[in-house]
Amino acid sequence: MFGNFNNYGLNAESFVAYKWSSLQVGVDLNQWYTEGSNVAFLGPKAEWAVSHNVDLNAGFGVPVWQEVNAANENSWAVTLGLGIKF
């Protein structure tokens, strides 16, 4: 079934933040490791707990380290998220 699957991926994230009520603002280090491309993004991130079961987050990162070929080089990344807990 997975005989042709030869790619892999790993993501690691660290978030250091100041929490004020339902809002967290801080710095995010997001690392991606895949076949042929490794990159770490660093930048600001905000998380807001809208209610007890809904979260919103947004962030921006610039690469601080990357191992890719020149055609796949990253300049920046934007993240947006919506979390719903059941």
- Is residue 55, in this structure, part of any structural domain at all? yes
pLDDT of residue 53: 95
- Is residue 4, in this structure, part of any structural domain at all? no
pLDDT of residue 5: 47
- Is residue 3, in this structure, part of any structural domain at all? no
d(CA 42, CA 40) in angstroms, rounded, equals: 7
| pTM of the complete model | 0.76
Q: How many domains does the chain have?
A: 1
- Is residue 73, in this structure, part of any structural domain at all? yes
- Is residue 13, in this structure, part of any structural domain at all? yes
Grouped pLDDT means (10 residues each) for the chain, 86 residues: 58 93 95 84 96 96 84 81 95
- Is residue 17, in this structure, part of any structural domain at all? yes
Q: Which domain holds residue 51?
A: 9-84
pLDDT of residue 15: 93
- Is residue 1, in this structure, part of any structural domain at all? no
